[in-house]
Structure 1
Amino acid sequence: MMENNYMKNESKITKQDNFQIADQIFQSRLMLGTGRYKNTQEAISSIKASKASIITVAIRRMQNSKNIGKSSLIDVLNWQKLWLLPNTAGCETADEAIRIASLGMEINKKIGQTNNKFIKLEVISDSNYLLPDPLGTLKAAEYLINKGFIVLPYIYPDPILAKQLEDVGCHAIMPLGSPIGSGQGIKNLHNIQIIIENAKVPIIIDAGIGKASEANHAMEIGATAILINTAIAKSSDPNIMAESMKLGVISGRKCYLAGTMQKNSHGKASSPNEGILKVI
């Protein structure tokens, strides 16, 4: 819900605007993926330009925790300043996602984040549009939560499913704006607004954002954070695009906190009628 108390909002805007998932507090509301970059150096410099706090990495790309220390991206990032969000990308069933998630926790321990139980849950059996499986996601989420994981499920923006996942104990919900890597922006705006309105946990828009204006819009409607990968990695200049997305997220968040004016069907003069000089 939009906030209207100016003094309350002013204090929110001037102080550091962190957000929280479970017991972890993060400074940046822009989260980054690590796939599709031309090379490791380009990924590192983009992450630096974005000022992101949370970085997600597909567990399958890491193959197994024994590969840690063999010149991969995960070896060269500073995990004292960044938070790793392992994800189950590539898993087609709930059982497969559950097995991969367990490996993710082991990787967290390998990089020194022994208290990190976060997992981005993806269960995708649709190879064409890459839409997540709602039943498989719910099944895997329940199991992983019972095993102590902090589960962030990636879902189609279905308000009922989002509430069910929250009710079983998910600490954040990640509805897609449009299909993964499509750059179509937010195609399910109304559903996402309903999810945000009903949620008591962070709502992170994940997938489909192609431009900084789209990231800005997502934050303006009250999203907690944005996760972006392809829009940065496949741009002509990922460093500049990463900074652009950072600024778009910051601007959209401040707009949301400030509270926007009401739309009017007619124009309204910004200057008062009183005191206008009459021409004789």
Structure 2
Amino acid sequence: MFDLEKFLEEDALEIAGRTFKSRLIIGSGKFKSFQQNKEVLEASGAEIITVAVRRVNITDPNKENLLDYIDPKKYLILPNTAGCYTAEEAIKTAMLAREATGINWIKLEVIGDQKTLLPDMEETLKAAQFLVKEGFVVLPYIFDDPVYAKKFEDVGCAAVMPLAAPIGSGLGLQNPYNIMFIKESVSVPVIVDAGIGSAADIPPVMELGVDGVLTNTALAEAKDPIKMAIAMRHAVIAGRLSYLAGRMPKRTYAVPSSPLKGVPYKS
């Protein structure tokens, strides 16, 4: 009999030597409260939560702090440089987060355009090079570009996080082929980031063989974030199992699902 818990333990996601049973990562923006964020995190089964340091407080103990609700011993708090538009800004934000929290992991974002929130790849790569040398575990948010994905791996990033669609758009996966090419071109984990709209968007992403999915807005803006978190928890597992199971080939014409041997031929 298939043992799901045993499977999740044996199929754990590994990033920079740390393992996670869940391949779902969630964010911490746009929720009504830190308490709701905590409840969504628990319902999702995720073990990593990203925190935009410029927007969500984890550095000032004198103000309401997300770390009062989410236990860093139980979850990996992944600081995020969201809102930065230059490598210098991102580096300063990462340094501030590490100094205040002791966390040396960083989700690196350097935005190139305020309207689309698409990444500036040159500035992101510049920041990644510096932060890796400073001992950070760097997970960069990038275009679905296999050439650049390889460059980020080569400078020492622990994973790459290509977008499925623009941040907060909810459009779902727009270019499966580029995600496939990225997965083929790098050996570090590939975590698809941005653009997920609902649980239904997750299995097609996971079936490409990627290592995980990150989502925030789809949870925070759902009519019932808890139910959506539970749905996403199962969607990630379903997509991963489907990928490992191996789908049937697609065919142009119908093929009977029952054997025809011994059935009389009718003209």
Distance in structure 2 (CA, Å) of the matches to 1:249 and 1:106: 34
1:105 CA displacement: 1.4
Aligned: 1:241 with 2:228: yes
Distance in structure 2 (CA, Å) of the matches to 1:171 and 1:79: 20
Q: Tell me if structure 2 keeps the 8 A contact 1:84–1:108.
A: no
- The size of the alignment, in residue pairs, is 262
Q: 1:93 maps to what in 2?
A: 86
1:72 CA displacement: 2.0
Q: Closer, same or farther in 2 for the Cα pair 1:27/1:108, shift >3 Å?
A: farther
Aligned: 1:36 with 2:36: no
1:64 CA displacement: 7.1
1:77-156, aligned counterparts within 5 Å? 77-109=70-102, 116-156=103-143
Aligned: 1:208 with 2:195: yes
What code does the residue aligned with 1:106 have? E
Match of 1:60, SS state, is: coil
Q: Which runs of 5+ in 2 are unaligned?
A: none
Q: 2:258 maps to what in 1?
A: 271
Q: Tell me if structure 2 keeps the 8 A contact 1:68–1:75.
A: no
Q: 1:251 aligns with which of 235, 238, 241?
A: 238
Q: Tell me if structure 1 keeps the 8 A contact 2:139–2:161.
A: yes
Match of 2:170, SS state, is: coil
User: Equivalent pairs: percent with the same residue?
Assistant: 48
Cα deviation digits, residues 219-245 of structure 1 (max 9, x gap): 011110000000000010000001111
Q: 2:156 maps to what in 1?
A: 169
Q: 1:186 aligns with which of 165, 173, 194?
A: 173
What code does the residue aligned with 1:223 have? V
Q: Tell me if structure 2 keeps the 8 A contact 1:64–1:103.
A: no
1:260 CA displacement: 0.8
What code does the residue aligned with 2:112 have? S
1:17 CA displacement: 2.0
TM-score by length of 2: 0.93
Distance in structure 2 (CA, Å) of the matches to 1:238 and 1:62: 19
1:271 CA displacement: 1.7
Distance in structure 1 (CA, Å) of the matches to 2:55 and 2:100: 12
Q: Tell me if structure 1 keeps the 8 A contact 2:34–2:69.
A: no
Distance in structure 1 (CA, Å) of the matches to 2:123 and 2:26: 25
1:277 CA displacement: 6.3
Match of 2:55, SS state, is: helix
TM-score by length of 1: 0.89
1:89 CA displacement: 0.5
